[in-house]
Amino acid sequence: MKNISKILLTIMSIVIISTVFASDYFKEPDKEAFYKIGLSGIKKQYSVGEELKLTLFLKGYGSDCGSYEVQIKKEDKQIEGKSIDIDCSEEIIKDFEDINLDVTTLELILIEPGSYVATGEFSNSNGERFQNEKTFVVK
């Protein structure tokens, strides 16, 4: 009888411990998605004929699928641009991870003096838009 009591006590302990570890108590809470889009490699001033080489990057946590766009404008007229779409399947949308991604590079020889605006944008699978803008001058 004592052996049966010990076996039952052991089994009950194992069941209780397993239940606690399988519960949500020890799971990491779901993190909310967040994104930071940016442009790197842009100086404040360039000389006519100098090359501009910028990189569009995305950092944060979430899914990196969606639409990316980078453009250079002078006086609201687009000079150069590039867009990239990353397809979003249901599995990819739900697969959140840490993001540190150089999305694309844009290279351009600046031939006209004036004020310019470089814009980078990311639209995620939920339709949210994240944008970064930098200005520079060509003399």
Write down the pLDDT at residue 76: 87
For the chain, the DSSP string reads: -HHHHHHHHHHHHHHHHHHHHHSGGGSPPPPPPEEEEEEES--SEE-TTPEEEEEEEEEEEE---EEEEEEEEETTEEEEEEEEEE---HHHHH--EEEEEEEEEEEEE--S-EEEEEEEEEEETTS-EEEEEEEEEE-
pLDDT, tens digit (0-9, with 9 covering 90-100), for 93-123 = 677 889 999 999 999 999 999 999 999 999 9
Domain boundaries, the chain: 34-138
pTM: 0.74
- If you average pLDDT over residues 77-83, what whole number do you get? 93
Q: What percent of the chain has pLDDT over 90?
A: 60
Assigned CATH for 34-138: 2.60.40.2550
